[in-house]
Structure 1
């Protein structure tokens, strides 16, 4: 009874769940709340499960989102059949490399080390667990779900609470966390996060150890210390090493290409300005007309309906340049509106 008094009644809270959802939407504009009720789960029927079966299902099959698997969990499943520190290091090496050529090379090493483990791992699509196959949509190279694990560990206290009490616990926890993040950001003076700044500064330290060859069209060939070659495309914000593509932070090769461009008299901007996704629309000049279905009056010449002269309309007409009697005899009746004529002299004249 004490627990029920403190946390609320389980059954009653399910009865007012829809009212709780409506309250969230009314107090937090833009909030999306979805309540889905399944009285006869098909999966339970397929597996012949009942209310006393001790099974928990976690689904991450979001078809519209990029799916990734935690590499640590992938290895945990593998080591049930294939164990060894050397094998573990080989698997992590396969996941960590960014370049597809290097990925194929380390996968061959894994095959020589343990053919059965290689066959087991090859059955899992590499795009779910290997950086070299990530699409770059998420702009993160994370291989684990540590963020989810940390979040789940904070919710242990709320798991046995009634549904609304549990949801309120999650909402308050996330609110506090967001506020704490904002406090940290307010103290930071840089334009990037601490992590992004550290990565970028480390990438800048090797720029004098590489050779750059401009290939035209914002493309550069960059040769490293060990004579490995990469192609940087500043226009596409990409490098064949794929670190820039996956993380959104300019890699060593990209920074070298930027410095070369600036040294040759071209505007490029600091590497910090290249972090993140590119702008979808280019910045227009102040005197450049926008491409829109609505015609702008900025470059149009207005013809007055009174005196039929250009440069003003009927409302501001003072008879300049022609007789105001031009309106007479036009057949306009009382109550009708005069439509002003707009000509396109700049475009068609």
Structure 2
């Protein structure tokens, strides 16, 4: 891992890691290599891997929701509220949560220099799925397939970006449109020409247009104006897209895909060498080589990406108490189950022929009801 980071530093401008954000799991070789090669980089730990270890001792859907609510909070106020609710539910779970060091995987503690709020390593999983077929081939064929795939991807991404109409990426524009709907519910109270007090339901927040900052923390960390900031921008009759960070612009996107990988002819056209070149030694392990990724312990094998019902608390619908079913209910002898609804008879219901007597009764009942 240290060799890889050392080679990575040669192709990127800032060699000390300042301004970099690295996201990985808590493997000791990765932690040690980043600390040695990129000491000034921000090293985030994948929250999904931390939750996988944390949930071994603390199961349940409610604890899971509280965990991700703490992790995804953008400010300390929301983080402390979520942590307090988790404390009331399970105090030991909070102690174990703090031992994992929230400074490296919770959003309120992250640096806002790179304008990235990602706390999981899903990008790596996406790339692994992208090169899945190439990974099963021989080393030289695998590298050649990855090279041609990336060569084509750089061109297609650049051509797609050149067709964009506005100056902001389309996905960012879609996020701004959703936030504009919520911005209509904000009340603006100006303090200066650039400082505002925003009331949103029961919250009161401060927005600074010059510093591009909001009390909620979302604009500071992500670089995209939140609903409170959009309300103040529209109040001043400014263009919302002008307050989006440069990394989300069309110009920055084209700059990222400006490079190219030169084509390479087949091995038939390579220069011939007189020296004997031996292939690297290959050590084959027992069994068939693994192709699919390692699934979670509670992931449904028949439905990819879906979790099983493991960890969910059952409850008896009659007594309403969680943790047991009908067979183990402590009050099963005293509670009488509700009778099932009557079954509907087969066939079409018979028509009732209205006689003069029934017709007058129906008219009387309808007219007697209040208007």
Question: TM-score, normalized by length of structure 1?
Answer: 0.57
1:273 aligns with 2:242: yes
1:230 aligns with 2:205: yes
Shift of 1:249: 0.7
1:100 aligns to what?
Answer: 76
Shift of 1:238: 0.5
**Pairing partner for 2:167 from 186, 191, 194:** 191
Q: Pairwise mapping of residues 248-327 of structure 1 onto structure 2 (< 5 A)?
A: 248-262=223-237, 269-277=238-246
Q: Is contact 2:86–2:94 with CA below 8 Å preserved after alignment?
A: yes
1:118 aligns with 2:94: yes
1:147 aligns to what?
Answer: 123
Q: Is contact 2:45–2:104 with CA below 8 Å preserved after alignment?
A: yes
Shift of 1:261: 2.4
Q: Which has the larger radius of gyration?
A: 1
Secondary structure of the corresponding residue to residue 74 of structure 1: helix
Secondary structure of the corresponding residue to residue 206 of structure 2: strand
Shift of 1:253: 1.0
Separation in structure 1 between the aligned mates of residue 186 and residue 138 of structure 2, nearest angstrom? 61
Q: CA offsets per residue over residues 50-95 of structure 1, 9 Å max, x none?
A: xxxxx99555724322222222111111122221111111101111
1:245 aligns to what?
Answer: 220
Pick closer, same or farther for the CA change 1:64–1:277 going to 2, 3 Å. farther
Shift of 1:109: 1.1
Pick closer, same or farther for the CA change 1:56–1:161 going to 2, 3 Å. farther
Pick closer, same or farther for the CA change 1:155–1:56 going to 2, 3 Å. farther
1:79 aligns with 2:55: yes
Separation in structure 1 between the aligned mates of residue 121 and residue 155 of structure 2, nearest angstrom? 23
- Unpaired segments ≥5 residues, structure 1: 1-20, 22-29, 34-54, 263-268, 279-349
Q: Is contact 2:112–2:220 with CA below 8 Å preserved after alignment?
A: yes
Shift of 1:173: 2.5
Q: CA offsets per residue over residues 291-315 of structure 1, 9 Å max, x none?
A: xxxxxxxxxxxxxxxxxxxxxxxxx
Q: CA offsets per residue over residues 2-42 of structure 1, 9 Å max, x none?
A: xxxxxxxxxxxxxxxxxxx9xxxxxxxx9569xxxxxxxxx
Aligned Cα RMSD in Å? Answer: 2.8
Separation in structure 2 between the aligned mates of residue 107 and residue 93 of structure 1, nearest angstrom? 9
Separation in structure 1 between the aligned mates of residue 99 and residue 165 of structure 2, nearest angstrom? 47
1:181 aligns to what?
Answer: 157
1:295 aligns to what?
Answer: none
Q: Pairwise mapping of residues 327-346 of structure 1 onto structure 2 (< 5 A)?
A: none
Secondary structure of the corresponding residue to residue 45 of structure 2: coil
**Pairing partner for 1:171 from 147, 159, 163:** 147
1:70 aligns to what?
Answer: 46
Q: Is contact 2:50–2:100 with CA below 8 Å preserved after alignment?
A: no
Separation in structure 2 between the aligned mates of residue 216 and residue 170 of structure 1, nearest angstrom? 54
Shift of 1:171: 2.9
1:131 aligns to what?
Answer: 107
1:342 aligns to what?
Answer: none
- Unpaired segments ≥5 residues, structure 2: 1-6, 14-26, 248-371
Number of aligned residues: 222
